[in-house]
Structure formats: C-alpha cells, structure tokens
C-alpha cells in the first residue's frame, strides 16, 4: 500500500519565502508612488529647506535668497552687496523637479515669469567701472526673519498639484490642489 504524501513544513516555508520575495520585488518595481508622490516630497523638501534657511539667516545675520528656474531652485546669499550661489553647505545645493514637473510662482499675488534655465551668476569684479545689472533671487529670506509673500505651485501635466504659501514672517503652508486648477 502506498502512503499519500503531503507537503513538509520546510517546503511550505520555502514557498512562502519565495512568494514574499516576489511581492517585495513587485512593490519596489512600482516605485515610490509615482510622480504625485515625488512632487509631494519635493514640496515638503522645499518647505524644510526654506525654514532652515530662515533660521540660519537669523542666527548668522546673513541674507539668503531663493532663485528659481522653471523646473528647479537654488539658494543664494548676499556677500558684499552681491548675490552669489550659496555653496557653504551641500544641503542647499541646486534642486531639480522630477521630469515634466514645473513651478508657477506668484509674488505678492502677481505671477512671476520664471526662466527655462537658471540665470548665470557671474563672479563679481571689484574694479569694474560700470557694474552690470546684477541678478537677484525671486524670494528673499532676510536676517530679520522676514520673507517676501509668495505662492509657489508645483505642477505636472496630469497629476495632482501642490501649493506652498509663504507670508512675511516666514510661515509656510502646503496644500494639495485639484487637477483642474
């Protein structure tokens, strides 16, 4: 007489481990939630960096600015009356939005046209007789703790959008907008 044989506990555990590994790989291949999730992360990163720059401006007694292109931003600082790219801390390095995402900036409720690429900031020549027009950032973070009032929208073609509002005292808030806006 032949005995019917079932699965051993070890065989079942091996199958469960393989299923778990397969599911993990499937979840990881989907990504971090798509473009909407990346846009939300960028909005939160912008808020954190801007708040941190506001604190540093007060502590260091230094003026900071945020310079935008259509799809990125960078921090500037005022040195001897000239705006230069802030390179003392890698945390404030130039940031770029995910592909196909872009900014819309409103300062004091007025739309601000952002350049497609960052404006080149030339080194300051102290002996220059006729100073050229100096590039200035769109947002100012002053050592007094004040900021200019702004509304920054992060958009993608077919995904949700985020809006960051900043007031004169440096308070920032974020909201998710409907796709129609």
- Residue 95: beta bridge partners? 73
Residue with tokens 């999730």: 37
How far apart are alpha carbons 12 and 58 in whole angstroms?
A: 62
Q: What is the DSSP letter of 135?
A: P
How far apart are alpha carbons 170 and 141 in whole angstroms?
A: 8
Q: Which pLDDT tens digit goes with each residue over 107-163?
A: 988 999 999 988 888 766 665 554 556 789 999 999 998 999 999 999 887 766 899
Q: What is the DSSP letter of 15?
A: H
Once rounded to an integer, what is the mean pLDDT over residues 18-37?
71
Please tell me the predicted confidence (pLDDT) of residue 126. Answer: 62
Please tell me the predicted confidence (pLDDT) of residue 27. Answer: 63
Helix H or strand E segment including 54: helix 34-60
pTM, two decimal places: 0.76
CB 177 within 8 A of CB 162: yes
Q: Which pLDDT tens digit goes with each residue over 91-109?
A: 999 999 988 899 999 998 8
Q: Comparing C-alpha atoms, which of 175, 174, 172, 154 is closest to residue 54?
A: 172
**Domain spans of the chain, in order of start:** 35-123+133-177
The arrangement of secondary structure in 35-123+133-177, i.e. its CATH architecture, is: 3-Layer(bab) Sandwich (3.55)
The answer to whether the Cα torsion of 120, 121, 125, 131 is positive or negative is positive
CB 140 within 8 A of CB 122: no
148, burial (CB in 10 Å: exposed 0-12, middle 13-18, buried 19+): middle
């Amino acid at each position: 007489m032949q005995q019917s044989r079932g699965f051993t506990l070890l065989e079942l555990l091996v199958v469960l481990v393989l299923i778990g590994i397969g599911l993990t790989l499937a979840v990881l291949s989907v990504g971090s939630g798509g473009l909407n999730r990346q846009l939300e992360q960028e909005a939160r990163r912008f808020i954190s960096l801007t708040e941190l720059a506001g604190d540093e401006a007060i502590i260091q007694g230094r003026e900071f600015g945020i310079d935008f292109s259509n799809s990125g931003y960078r921090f500037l600082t005022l040195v001897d009356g000239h705006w230069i790219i802030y390179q003392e801390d890698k945390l404030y390095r130039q940031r770029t939005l995910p592909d196909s995402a872009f900014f819309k900036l409103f300062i004091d409720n007025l739309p601000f046209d952002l350049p497609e690429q960052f404006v080149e900031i030339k080194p300051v020549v102290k002996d220059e007789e006729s100073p050229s027009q100096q590039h200035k950032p769109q947002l100012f973070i002053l050592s007094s703790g004040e900021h200019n009032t702004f509304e920054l929208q992060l958009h993608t073609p077919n995904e949700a959008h985020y809006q960051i509002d900043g007031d004169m005292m440096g308070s920032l808030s974020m909201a998710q907008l409907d796709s129609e806006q």
